[in-house]
Chain A
Amino acid sequence: MQIMDLALFRSRYPRWLAEARPLLEAADLKGAFKTYPFPTNPASPWTPLAKPLAQCRVAILTTAGLYVAGDQPPFRVTDIEGDWTLRELRNDQPLEGLAIAHDHFDHARAEADLNCVYPHTRLQELAAQGLIGGLAPTHFSISGYCTRADQVVEHTLPQVVQRLRAECTDVLLHVPI
């Protein structure tokens, strides 16, 4: 299934970037993104749930820019095009060891309780209650600030899909900030 029209996005992106660059450099995101060529997916893929939710293994994909402090590089926050690289977060990674590299949202609530953007503890509780079967061995973090949607589709998300398949994960819960 065609998820996103990459050619259309790429035909529009360079002109947008040229026009938006001064605004981005001045941190005027509202002005810059007025003309951004937002990709719109024409159709939704559909995979029926193959088993009861209570038997499903769930992974999280957060866009809060989380990374393992001291072990993984932070996302590039100064690049006007953002960062489309991926950080894998192990399921046994304590939340206290995670840091935020994302300059475009107020961190106060997430710093007080990371479950606001990365509901790992809540999923553990729901697994203990029997609503879901369990958590996947690997979760995923990307930076929600990234203007290169084509790079996300071509390079970042295939890594996520590969890991989900390798670990027989049934559900990906995407939590944008």
Chain B
Amino acid sequence: MGLANLPERVTRVGYPRAAIVKFPRGATCGPPHAAELQRQVIADALRLLETAQSPGTLLELPHRFTEAA
């Protein structure tokens, strides 16, 4: 499965399952040292393994990229 930030690339790859984040290049899992947010993103992505029912399932995650000041 994929956790990715570029929807057009995700479509080309054809993952069985993929979660898509609106995060910048170089920080696909979230901002540095934002452990709770990173954990939520990874957990929400992995839950797709149990919820997706067909190949090519994509899930846009709602998390916002908020960096510590």
Contact = CB atoms under 8 A, between A and B. Distances in A.
Secondary structure type dominating chain A contacts = loop
B17 to A, nearest CB: 8
B29 A175 contact: yes
A54 B29 CA distance: 21
Nearest to B56: A44
B54 A46 contact: yes
Contacts of B5: 176
A109 B32 contact: yes
B14 A40 contact: yes
Interface residues of B, number: 36
A126 B46 contact: yes
A126 B38 CA distance: 11
Given A43-B56, A109-B24, A131-B43, 6 more contacts: A44-B56, A52-B50, A53-B46, A115-B30, A116-B31, A172-B1
24 contacts: A40-B14, A41-B12, A42-B14, A43-B55, A47-B16, A49-B49, A53-B46, A109-B27, A109-B32, A116-B27, A116-B38, A122-B38, A125-B35, A125-B39, A126-B39, A131-B46, A132-B46, A173-B2, A173-B3, A174-B4, A174-B15, A175-B28, A175-B29, A177-B26
Interface of A: 3, 38-47, 49, 52-53, 56, 58, 105-110, 112-113, 115-117, 119, 121-123, 125-126, 131-132, 171-177
Interface of B: 1-6, 9, 11-16, 24-33, 35, 38-39, 42-43, 45-47, 49-50, 54-56
